[in-house]
Amino acid sequence: MTRLRDPRLAALLLTLAAVLGLVLANAPSGPAFLGLVHAPLGVWTIGEWVEDGLLALFFLVAAAELREELVHGSLRSPARAAVPILAALGGVAVPVAIYAAMNAGSADTLAGWAIPSATDVAFALGALALLGRGLPTRVRAFLLALAIVDDLIGILIIALRFGADWHRAPLLIAVVLGLVLPHRAGHAMRRVLEPVVNLLVLPCFALVACAVAIPGADALGGAFWGVAIALPLGKLLGIAAAGWLAGRLLVRDAAHRLPLAELTLLGALGGIGFTVALLLARLSFAGASGIADAAVLGVLVGSLASIVIAAAAALALRLRRVRSRA
C-alpha cells in the first residue's frame, strides 16, 4: 500500500492519462470521445462529475495535508504561512497585468484577462513529484499552499465575474473540510483515500481535463499570444518575485526561507494551467468561438512551456546539489 501512496506513481499515471486524453480528443474518433466526456449524466455531464465531483476527493486529501503543514510542519508559523499566500497573489496579478498590457487595444480579446491567472493544483503537484526528487518537503508544502490559494482565487473570479458557479462548490467544501479535520481523523482519511486518489481520481481527471481538440494555426491572435506568454512568464515572475520579497520581509531566519532557485521552480510549475484556465477561456469568450479556440491553444502552449521551464529549473537545482557535494 505504501507504493500506492507514492506521489511519483500518481504523477506518472496522471501524465499518461493526460497524454491519452489529448491524443483521443484529436484522433479521427475525437468527436465521439469528446461527445462522451460532455454527455449529460444527471445534473452534470460526465466530465463535470469527474472535474467537480470526483476531484473533490483530491482536494480533501490535499487540504488535510496542508493542515498538517500549517499545524506541525514547515508552515506552522503565521509568517511562514503568509509567504505562499502572497506568492499566490503575485502569481495571479502579474499574468493578468501582462495579458491586459498585450491586449489593451482590443476590447474583444481583453475580456480574457483572467485566463492566465489559474494554476492547476493536481498537475502542478504531479509535475513536482516527477521533477523535484531530492528537494526538501517544505517545497511541496509551499506549492500545496500556493496552488490551493490560487484555485480559491480562481473560483472567486468565476463567481464574481460570471455568476455563482455551483459546479465548483464541492471543491470548496472539500478544501474547508480538509482544513478543519482533527489530526487523527485527517491522517486516517488520507491513508484510506490516497491510493484511491492516485490510482483513480487523478488519472480520470487528467483524461477529462486534457480532452481538448487543438485548434488550427488560424486561431492565433491576441488571445493566444496573451495567454501563451502571460501564463508561463507571468506565473514565473509573479510567484518567484512575490515569494522572495515576502520571505525577506516576513521570515527573519534565512534557514526557513525558500531560495530564489526553488521559488523559480515553483513559479514555473504555477504556469501549468489546464482545468480552471480552460474553463475561464470558455466562459470569457462564450460568444466568440474563434477567440475561445485561440485562448484554449494558448493555455496548452503556455502550460507546456511552463513544464519545460520547470524541468530546466529542476535540472539546474539537481546539478547545483551535485556540485555542492563534490
Please say if the pLDDT value at position 231 is more than 90.
Answer: yes
Can you give the pLDDT at residue 165? 61
Residue with the bigger pLDDT between 219 and 184: it is 184
Tell me which H or E stretch contains 81: helix 78-102
Can you give the pLDDT at residue 1? 60
- State the CATH number of the domain containing residue 261: 1.20.1530.10
Can you give the pLDDT at residue 105? 86
What's the total number of domains in the chain? 1
Q: Residue 37 has which C-alpha cell? A: 466526456
Can you give the pLDDT at residue 211? 87
Which residues lie below 8 Å from residue 122, measured CB to CB, with a gap of 6+? 14, 55, 58, 202, 205, 206, 275
Partners of 40 in beta bridges: 45
pLDDT band at 256 (very low <50, low <70, confident <90, very high): confident
Can you give the pLDDT at residue 254? 84
Q: Please indicate, yes or no, if residue 310 is contained in any of the structural domains.
A: yes
Please say if the pLDDT value at position 326 is more than 90.
Answer: no
Q: Please indicate, yes or no, if residue 185 is contained in any of the structural domains.
A: yes
Can you give the pLDDT at residue 226? 96
Residue 10: what residue type?
Answer: A
Partners of 41 in beta bridges: 44
Q: pLDDT above 70 covers what percent of the chain?
A: 96
* Least confident among 3-7, 66-70, 207-211, 295-299: 3-7
pLDDT band at 221 (very low <50, low <70, confident <90, very high): confident
How does the average pLDDT of the chain come out, rounded? 89
Q: Please indicate, yes or no, if residue 115 is contained in any of the structural domains.
A: yes
Q: Please indicate, yes or no, if residue 25 is contained in any of the structural domains.
A: yes
- Residue with the three cell numbers 512575490: 242
Q: Return the C-alpha torsion angle 282, 238, 144, 111, nearest 10.
A: -10
Please say if the pLDDT value at position 217 is more than 60.
Answer: no
Provide the domain limits for residue 28.
3-318
Q: Report the distance separating Cα 119 and Cα 150, nearest Å.
A: 6
Q: Are 211 and 265 in contact (CB under 8 A)?
A: no
> Could you report the per-residue pLDDT of 90-130, keeping only the tens digit for each?
999 999 999 999 999 888 999 999 999 989 888 899 899 88
> Could you report the per-residue pLDDT of 174-192, keeping only the tens digit for each?
999 999 999 889 989 999 9
Q: Please indicate, yes or no, if residue 294 is contained in any of the structural domains.
A: yes
pLDDT band at 225 (very low <50, low <70, confident <90, very high): very high
Q: Please indicate, yes or no, if residue 234 is contained in any of the structural domains.
A: yes
pLDDT band at 72 (very low <50, low <70, confident <90, very high): confident
For the chain, the first-to-last Cα distance in angstroms comes to: 37
Q: How far is CA 281 from the centre of its chain?
A: 15
Q: Report the distance separating Cα 144 and Cα 269, nearest Å.
A: 11
Q: Please indicate, yes or no, if residue 326 is contained in any of the structural domains.
A: no
Q: Please indicate, yes or no, if residue 99 is contained in any of the structural domains.
A: yes
| Cα-Cα-Cα-Cα dihedral sign, residues 38, 41, 44, 48 | negative
> Closest by alpha carbon to 113, among 97, 130, 90, 127?
97
Q: Report the distance separating Cα 191 and Cα 91, nearest Å.
A: 32
Mean of pLDDT values over 255-277: 91
